Chains A and B, each alone.
Chain A
Amino acid sequence: MSAINNNCEYISKRLIKITFDGKTYEAYEGDTIASALLRNNIRLVGRSFKYHRPRGIYTCGIEEPNALVQIISEHNEPNTRATIKRVYDGMEITSQNRWPSLRYDFGAINNILSPIFSAGFYYKTFMGPKGFWKNLYEPLIRRSAGLGKPPKNFRSKSTHQYHNTDVVIIGAGLSGLAAAKKFINTKYKVLFIEQDSYLGGVLKNSNKVKTINGLTPQEWISETEELILNSKNITILKNTLVTTYNFTNHLIALEDKFAGKKIDLNKSELTLHKIRTSNTIIANGHIERFISFRNNDLPGVMLASSFEKYIHRYGVVPEKEPVIFTNNSSSLSLLKKLISLGCKPKAYVDSRKKDNIETEIKKILKDKEIPFFSDAEIEGCDGNKKVETITIRQGKSFNKLKSSMLCVSGGYNPDIHLFTQSKGLVKWDKNILSFKPDTPFQKTITLGSTSGNYNFKKLCDEINEKLSIFKTKKVSLDINLNVPNKFSIKELWETKKKNNSNWSKSFIDLHNDVTTKDLKQAITEGFDRIEHLKRYTTNSMGTDQGKISSINSLAIVSKMLKKEISEVGTTTYRPPYAPLSFAAIAGRSTYEFYDPERKTSIHSWHLKNNAVFEDVGQWKRPWYFKASENETMHQAVQRESKMLRENAGILDGSTLGKIEIKGRDALEFMNLMYTNAFSKMKPMTSRYAMMLGEDGMIKDDGIICKISDQHFIATTTSSGAPKVLADMEEYLQTEWPHLQVYLNSITEQFSTFNISGPKTREIMMKVFPDIDFSNDAFPFMTFKNFDYKETKIRIMRASFTGELGYEIYIPPKFGLELWEEIFSCGKEFNLIPYGTETMHLLRAEKGYIVIGQETDGTVTPIDLNYNWMIGKNKKDFIGKRSLSRPDTSREDRKQLVGLSPINKKDIIEEGQHIVELNELPKKISNPIKYLGHVSSGYHSPNLNHSIGLAMIRGGKNLLGQKFFVTATGKTKNIPVEIVNPVFIDPENKRLTS
């Protein structure tokens, strides 16, 4: 056995070095891994999925079921198709799914045990006992079955490219090129996509076409490509595979930017093209299928057209003397090519009757004295990790031949994958024995062999006719062929075995190790629907999606069920057509761009002052500020909280949502949207307000500033801002279009500072010496506008900490300047910056709730004892009616209370359960009565013990009672007393001081 090199224009003669399983080999630039390995006479490249059987290279393209390898030199990329991936100098490749080595694989014991691993084996065997699946079976199966190892330190960059176009042509073979030629210099914007790095398809992969319009195929390709390149309206994408065909002509294609080159980590490795087109032309050809026979998986068995493609496309003849086994007329071109290279096939086995075989074939075989078996088939082949002998059955006689390679052709399937993804209907064609496209669901055209037209002479008419809907010129193709013009085929899916042994296998799915016997068994067990059968046997569920075998399995099943193939139907073709990398799907939305980041105008100051950030929605907010390198979060928060209640603190509240509301009916609108009553509210005052869903549950809260009855400004929570605006818009547009009210989000138009603490007034007076901050002139919950430099600011008296506080609103351009000014003025008063964690602690001390912490979409204002916020006299507001539903008025709903530990050293943790037991049993056999949960838990530096807010069933009536709170990792619970949730300043003296 030895391969020979052939001259080939697609391969440069530059020698490069690659390693496979640690050994170095020479290859040519332009080779795929598979062609390089074949060049070096390597046929064994992997082990199979289930039985760990030795496997070789079966095909020469995307349909490859066996030759999957791991690329060590590319972040350990697993499951790479050796038949597609191009090599480069220094590429490191290993085989997969074997231990300790490819030649001596321990897992091959599965092959010996194979009679027990039949269809549905996992479902039947690993049934129990409970827990065994998770702890024993699954890890065991995962280790022995499977493919490559996941990549490590994945840092490649992939990009997305969107296209909006008139026409997409998929496949640059003969039909694709002819179609593209029609669009040259037209008004249509065309995207022309080819999976290979060269255009030409069948013309460069085979010997089938002799001349086109008097030119050699290569001359014609070059001429056509040149014309297309000069046409401004057509873009060619090479090394690009269309994987997905969605609704409304949306296609996804993957481009390998580094095909045959070492990846540059600073450039885009893969580009995912997302294409929206008006028309799609599918011309991606056909896929040869195999025939099932005994040991049809041995390394050395290869599809005939793939063998031919290796000669033409890669200049490597994998074997000088192969046996050819066919049931159709297409193998003539391979035969001719081998003869022209001085090679002589060991035998030509054709399942067709002698009379039906083309005269030309018979003549060559006779002239060259090649052993010829008509009306015959391959019974099977044998050998140790490779094909050694081949058994031919002709009638009742058997012939055993020695050869290391067997080329098989079971006919061609139009590549209908994308067409069916587009939801087009297919139809069974008796002449080609395959499904072909019928009724399209979208604007989809199929051309050439994709449409089931295997007649080259009819191609030109087909293209001109199908593309007549476009305003294009006629194209002419005068084609001379090396193969018979008429395609002839005899039905043959599986050959008969000589002996029936439990160990003899004829495969129907090479990737997932499914045998024809598995299909039979599944049908016997009642899985007679093709979709059930597929899942039960895992037939065609591998990464190759059964490209060379799925039609064969339908045919075999239909025979067993005694039905027509069209009655059995196909399984659903789902995207992607071939596996695509997660890196490509993610694009740039990884690492630094994982989620868009929003920053306030004070961000740079926070960075300089050692803020640790917290993500709030997309916002980066200071969580706490580190006073020193070694300060922990707990220490920082305790310090910030204490300092604020003693002096003053300032928080960057710019992220709070702000909505401007204006119009004739603004007051009515606000009364409907919020629980509160705004009618009697005086202009230039503000109010804490709550927004419910129609189900009565709290959605958001905020402060409403009333400028006039026609003009309001609402603040929202930071993460709730877009939703609140959207909800307001929704009601205005859909329910109350008669209300004349307009909304604008002004969140970004202001930097907002919340400054609070007992010394706040002094600081404010120093920053704004012209403003009167006295209690009389500037009472709690009022706001005023002031001139400031060349702009205007708004100051509101409000507080979320329970201390005297002001909120300053200033356009972001001037924000940082003012912030720094406040600090220089506040220095003598020990003003500190504080973050969200301190804010949460301080508001919990004051018993203020936080949306999403105390509330979770199941909490009403009544549950929080916020009845005072409900405008009961209002006729209607969103959610009002739901507050009197039987469920919302239940007495035993979970209600807000405070928790205080009885032993002051105990820590109440957020999220813990509240129970009646002081200790949990070691082993919990009966459910423990659950009373509620701790919604907020902090250590209060101002009270010097832990505090909690909790939602407890019937909490309103439990004041003063003792319960227990569970603790992480302990069975002993913490005794707590139910208290009023306001721990600090219940009389609001500080707030209004």
Chain B
Amino acid sequence: MILIKCPYCGERDQSEFSNGGEAHVIRPKNPESLSDKDWGEYVFYRNNPKGIFYERWVHSHGCKKWFNAVRNTSTDQILRVYKVNEKRPDLSDFKNTLKSPSGEPLVGSGNFAVKK
């Protein structure tokens, strides 16, 4: 259970939140003008990267407000939260986030736990 900072209520336990998948996927303005393929991409396809991910959260058992977060999916660290109407933070802001070339966290348990 991680702590998540709701931009409106402050830090709360993860159990109060629900994840809403990838952020910044905008619903097409004129769905009828889209080809089946493009519409299908919008409805069914989402990114699921290992590493830095822009995603949506909702404080579902609290104020019920949606917000966006930047999370490192390999360490589960939430690096930034921002409101829905705020600008998407630049990827370069998170350059120094712990990440090894293979995408594995530099710190972590198991075989990665031993400092070489």
**Residues in chain A within 8 A of chain B (CB atoms):** 246-248, 250, 276, 420-421, 423-428, 435, 438-439, 441, 530-531, 566, 569-574, 694-695, 726, 729-730, 733-735, 737, 875-876, 880-882, 885-886
Contact = CB atoms under 8 A, between A and B. Distances in A.
B58 A726 contact: yes
A730 B66 contact: yes
Contact of A435 (B27, B66, B107, B114): B114
B84 A733 contact: yes
Given A438-B115, A729-B64, A737-B84, 7 more contacts: A246-B2, A247-B2, A248-B2, A425-B115, A570-B110, A695-B44, A885-B36
B111 A730 contact: no
Interface string B31-68: 11010100110111000000000001010100011100
B20 interface: yes
Interface in B13-32: 13, 20, 26-27, 30-32
Contact of A427 (B39, B75, B107, B114): B114
B76 interface: yes
Nearest to B85: A737
Contacts of A566: 114-116
25 contacts: A248-B1, A248-B2, A250-B2, A421-B109, A423-B75, A423-B109, A423-B113, A425-B107, A428-B114, A439-B115, A569-B111, A570-B110, A571-B111, A572-B110, A572-B113, A573-B113, A574-B109, A694-B43, A726-B64, A730-B58, A733-B84, A734-B66, A880-B31, A880-B32, A886-B36
A875 to B, nearest CB: 7
B4 to A, nearest CB: 9
Contacts of A424: 107, 113
B56 A734 contact: yes
Interface residues on B, range: 35 or more
Most buried by B among A248, A574, A726: A248
A45 to B, nearest CB: 33
A886 B39 CA distance: 12
B107 A423 contact: yes
A428 B113 CA distance: 11
A872 B31 CA distance: 14
A737 B60 CA distance: 18
Given A733-B65, A875-B32, A881-B32, A439 B107 contact: yes
A420 B1 contact: no
A726 B66 CA distance: 10
Nearest to B56: A734
Most buried by A among B1, B56, B115: B115
A572 B111 CA distance: 7
A424 B13 CA distance: 22
Nearest to A565: B114
Contact of B114 (A570, A695, A735, A882): A570
B108 interface: yes
Interface string B89-116: 0000000000000000101111111111
A425 to B, nearest CB: 5
Nearest to B78: A248
B58 to A, nearest CB: 7
A711 B107 CA distance: 55
Contacts of B79: none
A248 B3 CA distance: 6
Contacts of B84: 733-734, 737
Given A420-B109, A570-B114, A735 B27 contact: yes
A733 B8 CA distance: 14
Interface string B69-93: 0000001110000001100000000
Top 8 nearest A-B pairs (CB, nearest first) are A572-B110, A881-B31, A569-B111, A248-B3, A441-B107, A427-B115, A733-B66, A247-B2
B1 A570 contact: no
A425 B108 CA distance: 6
Nearest to B18: A726
Given A276-B13, A441-B108, A570 B113 contact: yes
Contacts of B20: 730
A569 to B, nearest CB: 4
Most buried by B among A441, A573, A726: A441
A777 B40 CA distance: 49
Contacts of A735: 26-27
A276 B20 CA distance: 25
Given A566-B114, A734-B56, A246 B1 contact: yes
A337 to B, nearest CB: 36
A426 B43 contact: no
Most buried by A among B31, B77, B108, B113: B113
Contacts of A694: 27, 42-43
A589 to B, nearest CB: 13
A571 B109 CA distance: 8
A423 B64 CA distance: 32
B110 A882 contact: no
Contacts of B65: 733
Contacts of A425: 107-108, 113-115
Contacts of A876: 30-32
A423 B44 contact: no
Contacts of B110: 531, 569-573
B14 to A, nearest CB: 8
B56 to A, nearest CB: 7
B91 to A, nearest CB: 21
A101 to B, nearest CB: 42
A247 B107 CA distance: 13
A53 B77 CA distance: 47
Contacts of B64: 726, 729
Contacts of A730: 20, 58, 66
A570 B116 CA distance: 12
B83 to A, nearest CB: 10
A886 B44 CA distance: 15
A250 B31 contact: no
A734 B13 CA distance: 23
Contacts of B27: 694, 735
A470 to B, nearest CB: 21
B39 A426 contact: no
B44 to A, nearest CB: 7
A426 B115 contact: yes
Contacts of A530: 111
A882 B105 CA distance: 40
A958 to B, nearest CB: 28
Contacts of A572: 109-111, 113
A438 B108 CA distance: 12
B113 A426 contact: yes
A131 to B, nearest CB: 37
A143 to B, nearest CB: 34
Contact of A570 (B2, B32, B111): B111
Nearest to A274: B1
Given A733-B84, A881-B34, A423 B60 contact: no
A737 B85 CA distance: 9
A570 B111 CA distance: 6
Contacts of B60: 726
Contacts of B1: 246-248, 250
Contacts of A882: 39, 43
A735 B108 CA distance: 38
